[in-house]
Structure 1
Amino acid sequence: MAEDHEDARGDMARGFWVFGYGSLIWNPGFEPVERVPATLSGFARSFCMWSIHHRGTPDLPGLVLALDAAEGGRCRGIAFRVGPERAAATLAELRERELVSSAYLERRVPLALDDGRVVPALAYVVDPAHVQYTGPLSLERQAEVIAAATGGRGPNADYLFNTASHLAEIGMEDAELTELAARVRTRLGL
């Protein structure tokens, strides 16, 4: 991870790219100078991380999306370019948000932008050795957890609903998230 942090610091004079695949898509928390649809290869987006801070508690954990390494995996999302004037502050804010429990690892990845460019970008990927890593869970188990949990940033269901709807709005509908959202709505009587 030190190498990744060093690379990110080296970009401060130029700014940097970060990959959004979950809540960063609809709530980046910063104003990017560029926003481009993108694809990350070698990873899959999945609800494979227990949330004990933002969307759950230690007593009743929720689930959040993570990039899980997957041979042949492909994840669609948004690449955000942070300008040099806000690079250091934005990186600090991202680290505070994403590295709250060390379940995510900050990695430097090659990101294929839809406009044909390939850029080095930061991505927050799950640490499969971390206690918050769930491994694969059935959709029914995910729905059960998400319907019941609430954390510091609100109900776990809102996180799922916002992510699924924003992906659909930008033409990147994720069929599994859409199905999961329907199951959670049924559980919640919505």
Structure 2
Amino acid sequence: MDEFWVFGYGSLMWNPGFPYEERVLARLGGYRRSLCVRSYVHRGTEDRPGLVLGLDRGGSCKGVAFRVAPSSWQSTVDYLRERELVTSVYLERHVRTQLSDGRSVRALTYVIDRAHPQYAGAVTVEEAAQIIEGAVGRSGPNPVYVANTVAHLREIGIRDHWLESVASAITANGA
């Protein structure tokens, strides 16, 4: 392997937690960003789960690809596995990713395991807002996670209208 890339579509975009040499906007085909994961650790608990993003099949997803230096490959994988696989709700995948500058690279990412009990499936904007509003986990309040993700997506020129609708519904409900 000549290069090691990581594709981020949620909090990894604005809080990667690992060193990188290059950060590039990217698109991943075949998957879409979705609030489809019941969070029992980072943004909720088993008694009061929150919702976090996963890559679910279908469509495409704009996000960020990070190129990691060879000296950091193993520590980055170790870190990501500890962060993303805490309840094994994600599947680790190497996927073909199109960078905004035209390059095509293979990148490590995490997609939802639809057979996992934490898979929430498709939820409406209203259902998502109700679930998220009162949820708090080890990494903080669930509404903050959604607001930060929307803000950072906008900051880098990515619009996710569904996620923006959820964030607006949360705000309208007073969270």
Q: Return the TM-score normalized by structure 2.
A: 0.97
| 1:1-150 → structure 2 map (5 Å cutoff) | 11=1, 14-70=2-58, 73-150=59-136
- Partner residue of 1:164? 150
Q: Distance in 1 between matches of 2:72 and 2:117?
A: 33
RMSD: 0.9
* Alignment pair present for 1:178 and 2:155: no
Q: Distance in 2 between matches of 1:135 and 1:165?
A: 24
Amino acid at match of 2:121: G
Deviation at 1:169?
0.5
Task: Name structure 1 gaps, 5 residues minimum.
Answer: 1-10
Task: Name structure 2 gaps, 5 residues minimum.
Answer: none
Q: Return the TM-score normalized by structure 1.
A: 0.90
1:6-44, CA deviations, whole angstroms, 9 ceiling, x for partnerless residues? xxxxx4xx4510100000011000121010000000001
Q: Distance in 2 between matches of 1:188 and 1:19?
A: 33
Contact 1:18 1:79 in 2 (8 A): yes
Task: For residue 153 of structure 2, give the secondary structure of its aligned residue in structure 1.
Answer: helix
Q: Distance in 1 between matches of 2:139 and 2:146?
A: 12
Identity %: 53
Q: Distance in 1 between matches of 2:121 and 2:61?
A: 17
Aligned residues: 175
Amino acid at match of 2:158: M
